[in-house]
Structure 1
């Protein structure tokens, strides 16, 4: 029953609903407008003007809230008997280290830069791919 209520609210009051959900995230820059359907682009723009760091919300929050020892990723290979898990703290450590490697190569977020950087990751669906994506 709860799912249907939540779904109904998301459809009937999308701006209010998504503002409530977004309030649960840590924003580096708050949004100016929740939903822009009148823009000149064919797609709607969500949280216009806002910036969020996905890694902070996916990893840092869990470590800061005392869940660092809990499993963030449970990996089981389709091709071998390999199976292991990685805690939030361990994953954050690996992401931070790889992020430093990228930054030393000149790849990374620069708030002073006017140019957007795009990075392509061509990897199998592995833990290392998740680390690269979050870095």
Structure 2
């Protein structure tokens, strides 16, 4: 097994699979931890890929990817638009109270975030 699709959820909403156990062991093992988290870091876009995965020189105040630079907004929203998924749902708000649902596509979220950023820059010089 080698993909997240192999994970299954039981009735208690916890994951059970050999893959999960294998991933946990690799992610937390002293000899395998950095390689595991380097592979995970390769799955997202970095402006500057980190050379250091874990800085444990000041334990227990660990620093993950301390010399890397990442744009969370790009990874969460923009890259989906760039990769042609702008019309797919990015956020779904489902209110049990009002019994209403509102969906926002990646393109809509990108537009709203952009407008908010402009307001912050123009109004508060952020």
Asked if Structure 1 and Structure 2 have the same fold, meaning a TM-score greater than 0.5 normalized by the shorter chain, the answer is: yes
**Residue in 2 that maps onto 1:71:** 89
- Number of paired residues? 107
Q: In the aligned structure 2, how far is the partner of 1:56 from the partner of 1:70?
A: 16
Per the alignment, residue 10 of structure 1 pairs with 27
Partner of 2:54 in structure 1?
35
TM-superposed deviation, 1:63: 1.0
TM-score (norm 1): 0.72
Match of 1:49 in 2: 67
Deviation at residue 75 of structure 1 after TM alignment: 0.2
- Mapped to 2, the partners of 1:84 and 1:51 lie a distance apart of 33
| Cα offsets for 1:48-97 (capped at 9, x unmatched) | 12121100000111111111111111101243122111111111111111
Runs of at least 5 residues in structure 2 that lack an aligned partner in the other structure: 1-17
Runs of 4+ in 1 over 3 A off after TM superposition: none
Structure 2 match to 1:86: 104
Flag the structure with more relative contact order, 1 or 2, with Cα contacts below 8 A and sequence separation at least 6: 1
Match of 2:43 among 17, 24, 28: 24
User: Radius of gyration: which is bigger?
Assistant: 2
Structure 1: which 5+ runs fail to align?
109-135
